[in-house]
Structure 1
Amino acid sequence: MTLAMNQALPPSEELVTIAAIRRPRGLRGEVVAISLSDYPERFAAGLSVWLRPARGAARPAVIERAWFHKNNVILKFVGLNHINDVEPLTGCQVCVPLSARVTPPPDEFFYDDLIGCQVELMSGEGVGTVVDFAPYGGGVLVVERVHPDGQRQEHLVPFVRAICPDVDVTAKRIRIAPPEGLFD
């Protein structure tokens, strides 16, 4: 059986983080990680991933096994069989190529797909650009508006269907029907 350990990431491929490694677990090469995915199947045995340190290049790895324990995911990678092999992984992100990302169900979106979307009123008038997403309540878009004089202003727009009825992340556009006074 050939493992994906020697696969190179295409230079144009973006990585998406699915977990963050916190620390080694035991002596047999397991690590404790925080799952950043809503999809537990992302950690299936045999999945090729990239381990990206805070500094330096990402390196390929293959998940040998994974299970959830106390709000964490325990990961064991193929070929890393001792604590000395995984201690340097503390702080690494476990990533997959953007092309391997799970497709969310209809009317659900990934935070990073919302960033950069142009926000406009239902009439087509531009409001600004989504620069962040805050997970307060159901979620809040942080929209930056640049005025003609160059002054920047941030607005918080609740990310709910009543206010954001038309979301098209492919076109990078969100059309909103804000309640009166939202931009005052």
Structure 2
Amino acid sequence: MSSVIPEGHVILGRIGAAHGLRGEVRIEIRTDDSARLAAGTTVLTDDPLVGELTVSQLRQASGKATIAFEQVNDRDDAEAMRGLLILAPAQDEDDAWYPSDLAGLAARGQDGRALGEVLEVRAMPAHDVLVLREPSGARTLVPFVRSIVPVVDVAGGFVVLAPPGGLLADEPLEEESLEGDDQPDDGEQAPA
């Protein structure tokens, strides 16, 4: 199921499995500002039937986070929320964009060569991905992480990609050259 994020909203997290019997759920936090999920905060979900929720508690321990909402009091209701996105109005942030802002941007390599066009941003369980149409027409899912997409310039109309070898269909894997220091010079014999 593809989520539709309302204009002007950003993803704060994705709800995971129920935790305990009182309605708590695991949450994959997708914001650097976890204060946006503090107790008493009202957030929106991507399911119109669920709508708004009020955070009653956010706990983090051992790298995992659990969250509780005032409207959810038992495990069954908590389990029914699995997979929902938690949304909030966007704030003015230097490195934040709406998914719709990225559609249509040109994709360039770090050396400036054209790598294609961003068609859309998809929310995936591990992290968002850019759907890239390469010059050959191939569509490739590019992990939207800083190490692979180090530059996003919405005003300039482009993103810069640093894809690992083999990620892009139009970029063949580099083969190691068999020529060079390992080859004997003319008249020399290779050691046996």
TM beyond 0.5:
yes
TM-align CA RMSD: 4.2
Q: Percent identity?
A: 24
Partner residue of 2:15 out of 11, 21, 25: 21
SS in structure 2 at match of 1:21: strand
1:89 equivalent in alignment to 2:93: no
Partner of 1:60: 52
1:42 equivalent in alignment to 2:42: no
1:103 equivalent in alignment to 2:55: no
Higher relative contact order (CA 8 A, sep 6+): 1
1:116 equivalent in alignment to 2:75: no
Take 1:132 and 1:22, find their aligned partners in 2: how far apart are those partners?
24
Q: 1:61 to 1:38 in 2, by over 3 A?
A: same
The Cα of 1:63 is off from its aligned counterpart by: 0.9
How many residue pairs get matched? 146
Letter in 1 for 2:60: F
Equivalent pair of 2:15/2:28 in contact (CA under 8 Å): yes
Q: 1:172 to 1:22 in 2, by over 3 A?
A: same
The Cα of 1:173 is off from its aligned counterpart by: 3.1
Equivalent pair of 1:52/1:93 in contact (CA under 8 Å): yes
Q: 1:174 to 1:20 in 2, by over 3 A?
A: closer
In structure 2, stretches of 5+ residues that fail to align are 122-128, 162-169, 173-192
Take 1:117 and 1:51, find their aligned partners in 2: how far apart are those partners?
28
1:168 equivalent in alignment to 2:153: yes
After superposing on structure 2, the runs of 4+ consecutive aligned residues of structure 1 that deviate more than 6 Å are 154-157
The Cα of 1:13 is off from its aligned counterpart by: 3.1
Q: 1:183 to 1:62 in 2, by over 3 A?
A: same
Structure with the higher fraction of residues in helix conformation: 1
Normalised to the residue count of structure 2, the TM-score between the two structures is 0.54
Take 1:102 and 1:45, find their aligned partners in 2: how far apart are those partners?
22
Normalised to the residue count of structure 1, the TM-score between the two structures is 0.56
Q: Show CA shifts across 1:26-80 (max 9, x none).
A: 2222111121223222211222212335xx6451111122121232221111232
Q: Show CA shifts across 1:84-136 (max 9, x none).
A: 43232122222224xx34614xxx45594545322469xx9976313478xxx
